[in-house]
Structure 1
Amino acid sequence: MLGPSYFYAIIGGGLAGLQLARQLSRDVFFKGKKIAIIDSDFATPIKTWCFWEKGSGKWDNLVFASWQEGKFISSKADIDLKLPPYSYKMIKAADYHQHLRNEIEKSEDIEFITDDIQHIDPVTMKARGQNTTYTATHFFDSRVDPSYLESEKYTCIFQHFKGWEVETKNPVFTPGSFTMMDYRIKYPNATAFTYILPFTETKALVEYTFFSPFLTEDKVYDEKLRHYFDKILKTKDYEIKSTESGVIPMTDFPFDKENSIQITKIGTGGGWVKPSTGYSFKNTEKRISKIIENIKAGKLPGENLINNRFRKYDAIFLDVLSQNNQKGEEIFTKFYTKNTPQDIFKYLDEETSVSEDLRIMFSLYSFDFIKSFFRKAF
């Protein structure tokens, strides 16, 4: 009887799949183990990833821009965010995909396969694709379980956005300071804000972003972006060089419940997107390191990838925002006025103690949080 075709099969060649393959290829522990990366489309996406970290990091050679100062602006606050020892960094997905693929392709153990996986049978350990069937000793699966959209037990809102990479004729941006949230251009009864990553005084990525239970039409983002340039930046003289858009689920749905001896869910499909923020880049780095550590220790790859304490915190926050979406500006204003950027980043990185967690949560205190606590904490 023939054995599996591959030792590991990675379903999905995105952020998580490529990074996992890269780490496996770099570790002599996995030398000689045949690995497949299977994706229906390896086209390079037009998107950016941002993250914060202290000092230098493993991705600095791919960083397109970085900032040590930021802004938070709402109806009641205009805050300068001093980030050190943290920096806020931006990577373009095209650079990331090209760099990692070039490195991975040097490995004799890893094969890229274009196919659309329809089903993985955990009993026979076969993955059925449109073109053929694949066998492996373990599958790392980034496909998203769509049942999260139908769940009544768990909360889901969406981070959805459109961004313009623009060049203006006159200087309107402050290249040393990015804008985390600017609530001056509003959308009725929703949490919506403008996000700015300035590269020079005349070049920036400007996004209009929602954290909302609903999605909207493409023309809405364009209208709000035009208003921002007209009313806030006070310029009509700009050229749109490129656009990007996306929809990111922000949910406490336990995607990782599907982790087993045979299958480990990864990426968005594994719940690696931080539910309360939509950030995923550093979470991916940390969880892939944990997967490698687990395998080498003889544990299941998916063991202890999710911190249940912080999942509860995220569930409460999402419930508040879902039930009171029009209060997002008020909630985030409290978050940024009553906590330092350093405390916020440490909390969002899930590196705080319980006492530090409580201090953050008390800064957001309201009757809405009390109601959500009893809905979600037990």
Structure 2
Amino acid sequence: MLGPVYFYAIVGGGLAGLQLALRLKDDVFFKGKKIAIIDPSFKITKDKTWCFWEKGHGRWDALITAEWQKGKFISTIANEHLDLAPYSYKMLTSEDFFEYALAEIGKSKDFILIEDEISEIDPVTMKAIGKNKTYNATHFFDSRIPSAYYETNEHTKIYQHFKGYHIKSESPVFTTNQFTMMDFRLRYKNSTSFTYILPFSENEALVEYTFFTPFLTEETIYNEQLQHYISTYLKSDYYEITKEEQGVIPMTDFPFDKNNSDKITKIGTGGGWVKGSTGYAFKHTEKNISKIIENIKSGHEPSKDLFRKKYKIYDAIFLDVLARRNDKGEQIFSKFYRKNSVEEIFAYLDEETSFSEDLKIMFSLFDPEFIISFFRKFRF
């Protein structure tokens, strides 16, 4: 059955799809244009925590669960206390974001939420094939990960995979105003693996064990590492697990952007919006959506200039080093945090640096493995 024709159809009601919908709703340029958001389910879940850094006040401040002005990086060769000024490190939950986004979108008559699963989008007929119906639109914003990503072995694939415990301890064990970006003291078998801590009070925190590896692992490994860390490094044997989080985030140089066209724009993870070298996506999503809106209003293809090539090259080299020498992660990240200021680090990860600033970062990380990876990835 052929459904109505929409001006835009957003395939996927996740972070990217709903952020895009909010920006379209708030811009008078798009008023009166019928927009569909198609997702298998709009049930609000409590399974994700998003964190990001930014200067001063931001769009999402009303939804923030916690924020920190200080952080720390710990390894067997470094113990760095990080003053984040002029940045703050902010956290919000998927539950709060989805509740807000769906409520705001529901106030507009221009949007319709459709529960369906899209299997294919035909770029010629501009039809999206769902399990229930077929949908027509003048442009699709598609968050589905391309099947080619799973099928190819030509590109580097690192997985950021993790499990976190939200815990309440009997005794005060956390420093409330300081989060832990990376603690490498407990590593798993020469891998790039570390503990990440977001404290909410002296007795409550999210304690997460994270891998940046070319392999995945069993459930029991996360539990063993978390329990070992809490007992050995937090020195807490009496605590309650109030909630658990778990996930897998692709860190890759796969060219997701090659799937963009004048009729279909890939967004979110399926559009390569996850920063390849870090796994962070929240602020990159916000910036990419701003660029998409600007492009549309200027008469350009929505995906025009979403990516800067030099950062794709930097990420590809770094990921190749991690894929070949996963044991080197602690050493590389230790150099990164010891030899650069927080402002330099965040600007680099936000892709807002000049070439001379990039060179400073590169020299601080120098290791022969980077040269090997450069020639492996870019043969002239």
Question: Shorter-chain TM-score: what band?
Answer: over 0.9
Report the Cα distance in structure 2 between the residues aligned to 1:84 and 1:232, rounded to whole angstroms: 28
Which amino acid letter does the alignment assign opposite residue 51 of structure 2?
C
Question: Which letter does structure 2 place at the counterpart of 1:19?
Answer: Q
Q: What's the TM-score once normalised by structure 1's chain length?
A: 0.98
Are the aligned partners of 2:3 and 2:134 in contact in 1 as well (CA < 8 Å)? no
Three-state SS of the structure 1 residue aligned to 2:114 is strand
The secondary structure found in structure 1 opposite 2:125 is coil
CA contact (8 A) 2:162 2:209 kept: yes
Partner of 2:35: 35
The root-mean-square deviation of aligned C-alpha atoms, in Å, is 1.1
SS of match in other structure, 2:258:
helix
Residues 1:281 and 2:263 are matched in the alignment: no
Structure 1 residue 49 corresponds to structure 2 residue 56: no
Counterpart in the other structure of 1:324: 325
Tell me which residue corresponds to 1:212: 213
Q: How does 1:10-25 map to 2 (within 5 A)?
A: 10-25=10-25
> In structure 1, how many angstroms separate the alpha carbons of the residues matched to 2:374 and 2:257?
23
Per-residue CA distance 1:293-319 (angstroms, 9 max, x = gap)? 000000011111111110100000000
In structure 2, how many angstroms separate the alpha carbons of the residues matched to 1:146 and 1:175?
Answer: 43
Q: Which amino acid aligns with 1:12?
A: G
Superposed CA offset, 1:62-101 (max 9, x none): 1100001001000011110110000000010100000011
Matches within 5 A, 1:136-285: 136-285=137-286
* CA distance in 1: counterparts of 2:264 and 2:70, whole angstroms: 41
Q: Matches of 2:174 and 2:122 in 1, distance apart?
A: 53
The separation in 2 between residues aligned to 1:208 and 1:126, in whole angstroms, is 42
Structure-1 separation of matches of 2:38 and 2:87: 36
In 2: Cα distance, 1:3 partner to 1:118 partner: 16
SS at match of 1:167: strand
- How far off is 1:377 after superposition? 3.6
Cα distance in 1 for partners of 2:43, 2:225 equals: 30
Higher mean alpha-carbon deviation, 169-178 vs 38-47, is at 38-47
CA–CA distance in 1 between the matches of 2:15 and 2:64? 15
Secondary structure, aligned partner of 2:101: helix
Residue of structure 2 equivalent to 1:83: 84
TM-superposed deviation, 1:376: 2.0
Letter in structure 2 aligned against 1:188 = K
1:4·1:137 contact (CA, 8 Å) conserved in 2? no
Taking the aligned partners of 1:242 and 1:342, their CA distance within structure 2 comes to 33
Aligned to 2:341: 340
- Matches of 1:320 and 1:149, distance apart in 2: 21
Partner secondary structure for residue 5 of structure 1: strand
Answer whether contact 2:3 2:135 (CA < 8 A) is retained. no
Q: Is the 8 A contact 1:275 1:314 kept in 2?
A: yes
User: What is the distance in 1 between the residues matched to 2:13 and 2:207?
Assistant: 27
Q: CA deviation at 1:153?
A: 2.8
1:92 is aligned to 93
Equivalents in 2 of 1:4, 1:274: separation in Å?
36
1:316 alignment partner, SS class: helix
Matched residue count: 377
Shift of 1:149: 3.2
Please state how far the C-alpha of 1:4 moved relative to its aligned partner: 6.0
Q: Distance in 1 between the 2:23 and 2:311 partners?
A: 26
How far off its partner does 1:261 sit? 1.2
